[in-house]
Amino acid sequence: MFYPSKSEYLKIAQSYNLIPVYKEYIVDTETPTSIFIKTGGLKREGFLLESIEGQKNLSRYSFIGVGCNNLIKFDREVFSLNDGSKKVFEIKTR
């Protein structure tokens, strides 16, 4: 099941133009890394974030995004934000 539902999405869309849509999966035979690769994470800009609460094997969530429009990057002590193909800003951390 997708969240929000179609009816909830249409209601929210009356007030907002950007609405996150997600689906939860219980996956026993895959790892977060293998799913990231299968969804094209190595070919396009993307992210893999993992969250653990409580015991490692009971409360673990992974957030995967591929084909992102904006890119926040931290590389060699430089933090930058790119919007599509142009750099919006850059901050040197040292």
The ranges of the chain with pLDDT < 50 are none
Beta 78-83 vs 60-66: how paired, if at all? unpaired
The answer to the question of residue 44 being in a domain is yes
Distances (CA, A) of 52 to 13, 34, 68: 32, 18, 24
Quote the pLDDT of residue 7: 95
Q: Can you give the pLDDT at residue 54?
A: 67
For residue 17, being part of any structural domain is answered with yes
Domain count, the chain: 1
Does residue 61 form part of some domain? yes
Identify the pLDDT of residue 3: 92
The answer to whether residue 81 is domain-embedded is: no
C-alpha dihedral (67, 1, 59, 44), degrees to nearest 10: -10
**In this predicted structure, what is the pLDDT of residue 4?**
95
